[in-house]
A = this chain, B = another copy of it.
Amino acid sequence: MIESRIQITVRYAETDMMGIVYHGNYLPWFEVGRTTLLRENGFPYRELEAQGYLLPVVELGSKFFKPAVYDDTVTVITRVKERPLLRIRLDYEVRRGDDLLVTGFTVHGFINKAGEPVRPPVAFTEKMRELFRSEGEPAAGK
């Protein structure tokens, strides 16, 4: 499993008249978590796009337990739990201290600039194999 953590402070712009963060505004936070995880694991999303790969969201889901409010500093925890093959799934938790506020996931496919599905870059696939082997597979298997 790969995991990454990043802190976000809630903007006034992200609240709604209910006095809490608008539900749709957690998705950019998930994106911040995703960007952080990819960067920390050697694949900045910016470079993936520069190489001609796009990672559009094909599916997402989210559950809301407690609301975040203006000026809260929350932690977004992002995880890739299974080695990505043609698609990559990321899971997210938004926490304020020990409180679990929101969970979610996104699934992404790889496409090229023409919008056609493509295989991930070889370097990405190799890196993921390495990351998931190092922690997940039995030593004897190597």
Contact = CB atoms under 8 A, between A and B. Distances in A.
Interface of A: 9, 11-20, 22-25, 27-28, 31-32, 35, 44-46, 49, 54, 56-64, 67, 69-71, 106
| Interface SS of chain A | mixed
Nearest to A27: B24
Nearest to A115: B67
B67 A56 contact: yes
A56 B23 contact: yes
A67 B57 CA distance: 10
A57 B27 CA distance: 14
Contacts of A67: 56
Contacts of A57: 23, 64
